[in-house]
Amino acid sequence: MVNITIAYEGDLRCTAIHSPSKSVLQTDAPVDNKGKGESFSPTDLVATALGTCVATIMGIYAREHGIDLSGMKLEVQKIMQENPRRIGKLHTKISLPASLEAKQRKALETAAKHCPVHKSLHPDIEIIMDFEYC
């Protein structure tokens, strides 16, 4: 179990503290939703959680199977939907080394689609994962 303590700082800003590590992060409402957009918004953190979870799960698989993922990069595009305002789509682009063999590519792509965040998101959110090898 992990506890995250959140304090509302006012002016649509929150500070969150991760209890085990004492790491701190702030959120701010986005400009298009009455905020200043000076930090990650809560929905930005959802997109960030998906991307970092995918990278972590792929990294675990790679470590267990002796695969070098040096240079892997991910980009998550979050597309909001109005009425109701919510995340409508998360489009993840995953760039991997071209040197990976076909069997490794397939296994890593399968691992990516089974990350816990992906499995936790509401099915109404369209999740697209594009893999490129360069």
pLDDT band at 115 (very low <50, low <70, confident <90, very high): very high
Tell me, yes or no, whether 98 and 72 share the same domain.
yes
Does 60 reside within a domain?
yes
Q: Please give the C-alpha separations between residue 92 and each of 43, 87, 132, in angstroms, as whole numbers.
A: 15, 14, 11
Share of the chain above pLDDT 90, in %: 100
Tell me, yes or no, whether 92 and 123 share the same domain.
yes
Half-sphere exposure of 87 (CA within 13 A, CB side): 21
Q: What is the pTM of this model?
A: 0.95
pLDDT tens digit string along 5-42?
Answer: 999 999 999 999 999 999 999 999 999 999 999 999 99
Tell me, yes or no, whether 10 and 54 share the same domain.
no
Does 120 reside within a domain?
yes
SS3 127: strand
Does 38 reside within a domain?
no
Expressed as residue numbers, the domain containing 26 is 4-33
Tell me, yes or no, whether 22 and 49 share the same domain.
no
What is the C-alpha separation between 5 and 7, in angstroms, rounded?
A: 7
Averaged pLDDT for residues 92-117: 97
Tell me, yes or no, whether 23 and 60 share the same domain.
no
Residue 109: which CATH number? 3.30.300.20
Say if CB 54 and CB 129 are below 8 A apart.
Answer: yes
Task: Give the pLDDT of residue 38.
Answer: 96
Number of domains in the chain: 2
Task: Give the pLDDT of residue 93.
Answer: 98
Does 50 reside within a domain?
yes
pLDDT band at 73 (very low <50, low <70, confident <90, very high): very high
Task: Give the pLDDT of residue 123.
Answer: 96
Say if CB 41 and CB 80 are below 8 A apart.
Answer: no
Task: Give the pLDDT of residue 2.
Answer: 96
What is the C-alpha separation between 80 and 124, in angstroms, rounded?
A: 12
At 129, the amino acid letter reads M
Does 101 reside within a domain?
yes
Task: Give the pLDDT of residue 120.
Answer: 97
Tell me, yes or no, whether 50 and 21 share the same domain.
no
